[in-house]
């Protein structure tokens, strides 16, 4: 099971007898999850850069630069934490299905929160949608 080291924002994969999997190439993904409900809209935007690494480490950075500014500031902190937790949950699901994903660095490149219409589940869904597109047979290759 992966574990998170919050200070370094590094997720360490346990050594396993199972074959490990790695992304074939860097992926830049963006998901705008909008759910229309009468008289309101449910809203979350997530952007991620997933970069294959030549080791077994998994890392997560929420301080990606955008327009010369650091992305993670106080208003986004709760959403960024949810994105990181969702990444860990999806990695654990992949491991339970027999695919240990290693050698991955994830940068959050965008995160947009609406003060009223954003909720935790919307960021979970947006992040899950991105990772479903990335963690599939076309994007992954077996490693030694």
Q: What is the pLDDT of residues 114-140, one digit of tens each?
A: 766 778 888 899 999 999 999 998 999
Beta carbons within 8 Å of 74's beta carbon, 6+ residues apart: none
Which residue positions in the chain have pLDDT lower than 50? 1-10, 12-13
The total number of residues shown for the chain amounts to 144
Write down the number of H helices and E strands in the chain: 2, 11
Q: How many domains does the chain have?
A: 1
Identify whether 16 is part of a domain: no
Q: What is the pLDDT of residue 37?
A: 63
Identify whether 4 is part of a domain: no
Identify whether 8 is part of a domain: no
Domain containing 135 equals 21-142
Q: What is the pLDDT of residue 49?
A: 93
The two structure tokens encoding residue 83: 């994105």
Identify whether 55 is part of a domain: yes
């Amino acid at each position: 099971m992966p574990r998170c080291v919050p200070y370094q924002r590094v997720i360490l994969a346990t050594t396993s007898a199972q074959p490990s999997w790695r992304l074939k190439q860097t992926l830049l993904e963006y998901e705008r999850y909008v759910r229309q409900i009468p008289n309101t809209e449910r809203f979350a935007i997530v952007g991620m850069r997933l970069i294959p690494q030549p080791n077994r480490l998994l890392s997560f950075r929420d301080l990606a630069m955008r327009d010369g500014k650091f992305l993670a500031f106080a208003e986004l902190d709760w959403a960024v934490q949810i994105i990181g937790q969702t990444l860990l949950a999806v990695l654990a699901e992949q491991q339970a299905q027999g695919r240990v994903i290693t050698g991955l660095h994830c940068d959050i490149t965008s995160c947009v929160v609406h003060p009223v219409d954003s909720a935790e589940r919307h960021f979970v869904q947006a992040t899950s949608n991105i990772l479903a597109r990335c963690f599939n047979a076309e994007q992954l290759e077996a490693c030694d």
